[in-house]
Structure 1
Amino acid sequence: MAQIKVTQIRSIIDSPEKQKQTIKALGLGKISKSVLVENTPQIAGMIRKVHHLVEVKEL
């Protein structure tokens, strides 16, 4: 599968607990931190839940 680069662009302060857990599950936690992940349906769903906190680029 294709890989995507996910970068956290906003803080998780004042976000609901579920969104904080999703950010942690993606391997993020600090602003400007990036991770490379496989583009699977599970990851796409996680990104959809926190789309306002992250930026996604396809590689």
Structure 2
Amino acid sequence: MAQLKITLKRSAAHRLPAQRKIVKELGLGRVHSSVIKPDNDAIRGALFKISHLIDVEEYKG
């Protein structure tokens, strides 16, 4: 199963509460923090809503 490396590039402070909640639920705490998540429709939907705050790349590990 493919995985995605998600890196927070911009702060979630002063954003809509729903966007802040998505960032927190993905496990991203600070700017430049990264997490590895499975590539599925639920994750893709969340990433679409905060795409202006993050950088996404495929992770092979």
TM tier, smaller: over 0.9
Deviation at 1:54, TM superposition (A): 0.4
2-structure distance, mates of 1:9, 1:29: 11
2-structure distance, mates of 1:29, 1:19: 13
2-structure distance, mates of 1:29, 1:16: 16
Give me the CA root mean square deviation.
Answer: 0.6
Q: TM-score, normalized by length of structure 1?
A: 0.96
2-structure distance, mates of 1:13, 1:22: 12
**1:43 aligned partner, one-letter code:** I
**2:27 aligned partner, one-letter code:** G
User: Runs of 4+ in structure 1 displaced over 3 angstroms?
Assistant: none
Aligned length: 59
Q: Which runs of 5+ in 1 are unaligned?
A: none
Q: Which runs of 5+ in 2 are unaligned?
A: none
Correspondence 1:18 to 2:18: yes
Secondary structure of the residue that 1:11 maps to in structure 2? coil
What's the % identity of the aligned pairs? 37
Match of 1:43 in 2: 43
